[in-house]
Amino acid sequence: MKALDLCVAAAVLGAIPVYASRSPAQEAPAPQATLTVPRFPILESPIELVGPVRQAEYVGITGPRSAWLGVESGAAEIWVHPLKVVRNLELSFSVPEYADPIPGSTVARTVTVRPELTTITYVHQSFTVRQHILAPRDESGILVLLDVETVRPLEILVTFEPVLQLMWPGAFGGQYLFWDEPRRAFVLSESLREHNAVIGSPWATEATAHPAHRLAEAPATFRIAVDPGRAATEFVPIAIAAGSGSREDVLESYGRLLEDAAGLYGASRAWADSVLAGTTRIDSPDDRLDLALEWAKVNLEEQRVCNPDLGCGFVAGWGISGSSYRPGFGWFFGGDAAMNTLAMDVTGQWELVAEDLRFLARYQRDDGKIPHEISQSAAHVDWFGAYPYPYYHADTTPWWLTAVWQYWKASGDDEFLREIWPAVVRAWNWCLSVETDGDGIIENTTGGLAAVEVGEIGAGLHQDVYLASVWTAALQGMPDMARTVGDAEVEARAVELRDLAWKTLNGIYWSADRGYIAFALLRSGETNDNLTVWPAAGLMFGLFDADPAEETLRRLAGDAISTDWGARMLSSDSDLYDPLQYNSGTVWPFVTGYLSLGQYRYRRPWAGQHLMDAVKQMTFDWSLGRHPELLSGAFYSPLDETVPHQFFASSMLPTPLIRGTLGWEPDAPNGAATLSPQVPPDWDRLAVHNLRTGETRVELGLERETGLISVSLGNTGPPIDLVYVASLPPGSRDIRALLDGQPLTVDAEPTPHDVKLRTPLRLSGADRLLEIRYGGGLEVVPPRVELQAGQRGGGLRILDFGRDGDGWRLAVEGDGGRSYRVRLVGVPVRISRTVSPGGEADRTSAGARVDHADGRTTEVELELPAGGAKRRMMILHLEESR
């Protein structure tokens, strides 16, 4: 046998590749083979993030119909929903000086992440290649544009492993691959030709041959010979298209990707500009917080997936599937989506919220239960009949009811409410069907899972505080919604259950002996008294009475729950604690957001701020612009199994920021809103744009100096009634206020932690100016933790701060034997005494001293006592130093 025949035979067996190139005798190439993509500017983004390539760090480029899921060094898998098309797609580079191709991963140097497009830059002594990756908004495919500069002849090798398989649990067989020479592209198909994909480039010169009727075990490769002169004026394009349907449709998509590259990029850029400009924005002294909010909004848009079989809804997150067929949590999740709408309602991303609420209602079970999860291959298998997953969570249905209510409150969309009401009633009736013990709260026993899915913490559950809280939150909105649509029966029953559930929540869950809200009621009738983060689900909605809330939030502010990088699900003091166990000790950004907002809700911003800061920091430390699903409870590091691009993690930056720090609560059905900022005392300014309530947009400008807060308010659109609630330092006195230069009667309400000043006003187009002057008062600056990957905890926690007689009481926690600094803003103070719980009161103030004081800022240096427990607490009693 001739040598060439041996190579061909080996290729047929899938052992080694052989290149098949076009000869002059072959048919003329299809138009795509000679198509050019003239260079066009790739614009900088105002929020782009640039960093050095980290070999294993995730980078994702996702659109409504496709996803590039890879690592910063260049390797990726490609999804065109619901199909996984290829995996291990990589570039390598062949230059004359080297015998072997240069793997792209060895010369990948920087990654630039933008909302509309991501760029990986490969740098070598003889070339620079910028790989621009785009997931178009309205095409079923991925487009790669290579910006090539080279001083030597250069060949680019594109290598991948063909897959063509449905997302789990769908499946089919008979896949095969062949090179379509006229189009310079591989065609990936299966025996029925119902699922097809095309990947190639009009610049390709040759490709590996593959066996007929099955996939080779060797990767597929096509070569691109780069003409330096041509590359100076054109992009080198690579297109990947796929779909379920006719091959002709997929080939047409492939053609459009190549023919309209500039238009597809322009559409993606226009989408990004719209998201950034049309939603809530802030300008604060913390530039990274402002930037992280912009990226969170982009992430919340990226959760939208349009499946050709199922419709458009929200997936839970993205991550590389590797050799499996589950890309992170890239299938539709009802509970995740519902909680994410809490953020989108106050950022103004309403169109997508309404679309997803309708999507979930479309797959509502006959008895009214809202789906927990829907695979993207659900149309190809008996998903809703044969699999246990679609409806196995109880919390999804009350979360959906809460999401409908919150969307309606923000948008005032009565037409939507009337349209969705039949589904609301069905969901309502399902919830009533699983309330069987007469306490007004639905149950895990009859309804399904809620707070935990695995681990001993969930043993014997009858009803957990998370499910009880979400249901009680839904009950707050049901009466108003029912009244609006004229459903008197639902309204009356909702009022009755709302009051009963509130009483139950504040009664049976409060553990007075332990001083915090318990985790769960057990089937045995006993209580699971573990200290967990889950009461925060009720605290963030303000569902607990003041005293139990205060006691619990004080405990949750400590390091046993609130680490430097977020909230553990279970206290590190519990016998069940495991820092690597999914539900029993890991740190989750989504519950971190719950707790942050809960602290703000009860006017404890110094305990909420550092949690929000932790979520902010994740934007920059791991996958650029993204937020991981969960992290170790022991170190600042995501777990190995973490989904790197998780949307309910992203939503828990805007949720506590806009609802907590800004205190924005829209009430569009009543033409009203509340704005109650609790900004850090070291912020001297704040501007907020595009706060939406119904058709009205509100603008806020805030400036602070000693004894003076100036607030400018304006609006576009219909007039609204706004209640502005100023947070003055505890101990403030001689309070005066002017509105547009006219004196106001001051309505000041001292709370345990501040002085609330409520000012009702009418916004009707003209700017309003509120000036508040006061004397006295003292505030504590929330401690900032500079997170470093892999660090253990140890940061300072503010457990409590507020007025104490004629002075102030400050409770802190930190590592024993370690020094910390606390900044106080307001009147000069001195330390009257300190107390270390477990020891005697120290009237000489040993362990704490005023290190520096000026007319407005006091710095206190603390030395926490060593010995005993690692974490130690200190209480400082402060009084004004005159």
In a domain, 175, yes or no: yes
Look-up of token digits 């508040």: 772
**Alpha-helical regions (H) of 49-169:** 104-107
**Alpha-helical regions (H) of 260-331:** 261-278, 287-302
Residue range of the domain that includes 835? 805-880
Q: Tell whether 298 and 251 lie within a shared domain.
A: no
pLDDT at 877: 96
Work out whether strand 871-880 and strand 807-815 pair parallel, antiparallel, or are unpaired: antiparallel
Structure token pair of residue 714: 């304006």
Q: Tell whether 260 and 285 lie within a shared domain.
A: no
The neighbouring-strand residues paired with 111 are 51, 120
Q: Tell whether 395 and 521 lie within a shared domain.
A: yes
User: Predicted confidence band at 10 (pLDDT cuts at 50, 70, 90)?
Assistant: very low
Mean pLDDT value across residues 87-105: 96
More confident residue, 473 or 8: 473
Alpha-carbon dihedral 733, 739, 743, 744, rounded to 10 degrees: -60
pTM of the model: 0.95
Give the Cα separation of 524 and 677 in Å (integer): 44
pLDDT at 5 over 90: no
Q: Which regions of 509-652 does DSSP assign to beta strands (E)?
A: 510-511, 516-517, 520-522, 527-528, 562-563, 566-567, 645-646
Mean pLDDT value across residues 3-32: 40
pLDDT at 30 over 70: no
Q: Tell whether 522 and 649 lie within a shared domain.
A: yes
In a domain, 245, yes or no: yes
Burial class (CB within 10 angstroms; exposed 0-12, middle 13-18, buried 19+) of 546? exposed
Backbone angle region of 603, left / alpha / beta, with phi > 0 → left and psi within -120 to 50 → alpha: left
pLDDT, tens digit (0-9, with 9 covering 90-100), for 523-549: 999 999 999 999 999 999 999 999 999
Q: With H, G, I as helix, E, B as strand and everything else as coil, classify residue 117.
A: coil
pLDDT at 195 over 80: yes
In a domain, 219, yes or no: yes
Residue 351 sits in a domain of what CATH number? 1.50.10.10
Give the Cα separation of 315 and 303 in Å (integer): 5
Which residues, including other chains, have CB under 8 Å from residue 46's CB and lie 6 or more apart?
Answer: 276, 294
pLDDT at 853: 77
Q: Tell whether 311 and 456 lie within a shared domain.
A: yes
pLDDT, tens digit (0-9, with 9 covering 90-100), for 747-756: 899 999 999 9
Q: Tell whether 103 and 237 lie within a shared domain.
A: yes
Q: Tell whether 592 and 501 lie within a shared domain.
A: yes
The DSSP output letter for 28 is P
**Alpha-helical regions (H) of 434-515:** 444-447, 465-485, 488-508
Residue 226 sits in a domain of what CATH number? 2.70.98
The DSSP output letter for 660 is I
Give the Cα separation of 342 and 360 in Å (integer): 16
pLDDT, tens digit (0-9, with 9 covering 90-100), for 543-580: 999 999 999 999 999 999 999 999 999 999 999 999 99
Q: Tell whether 261 and 372 lie within a shared domain.
A: no
Q: How far is CA 49 from the centre of its chain?
A: 17
Mean pLDDT value across residues 741-746: 95
pLDDT at 614 over 60: yes
In a domain, 751, yes or no: no
Q: Tell whether 140 and 260 lie within a shared domain.
A: yes
pLDDT at 27 over 80: no
Q: Tell whether 322 and 268 lie within a shared domain.
A: no
Mean pLDDT value across residues 837-850: 65
Q: How far is CA 881 from the centre of its chain?
A: 45
Query: Angle at which helices 396-411 and 414-433 pack, to 10 degrees?
Result: 160
* Terminal-residue alpha carbon distance, the chain: 103
Of the three residues 272, 293, 318, the one that is the final residue of a domain is 272
Mean pLDDT value across residues 301-311: 98
Q: Tell whether 307 and 249 lie within a shared domain.
A: no
Instruction: Decide if 668 contacts 645 (C-beta within 8 A).
Output: no
pLDDT at 838: 64
Structure token pair of residue 163: 């897959």
pLDDT at 13: 37
Cβ count within 10 A of residue 411 = 23
Q: How far is CA 468 from the centre of its chain?
A: 24
Query: What total number of domains does the chain contain?
Result: 3
pLDDT at 630: 96
Q: Tell whether 491 and 556 lie within a shared domain.
A: yes
pLDDT at 22 over 70: no
Give the Cα separation of 260 and 613 in Å (integer): 41
Average pLDDT of every residue of the chain: 94
Cβ count within 10 A of residue 646 = 28
Of the three residues 224, 242, 272, the one that is the final residue of a domain is 272
pLDDT at 839: 53
The DSSP output letter for 789 is T
Instruction: List C-alpha distances in Å: 259 to 142, 252, 262.
Output: 13, 10, 8
In a domain, 377, yes or no: yes
Mean pLDDT value across residues 338-362: 98
pLDDT, tens digit (0-9, with 9 covering 90-100), for 629-683: 999 999 999 999 899 999 999 999 999 999 999 999 999 999 999 999 999 999 9
Of the three residues 630, 661, 692, the one that is the final residue of a domain is 661
Mean pLDDT value across residues 849-865: 88
pLDDT at 19 over 60: no
The neighbouring-strand residues paired with 776 are 732
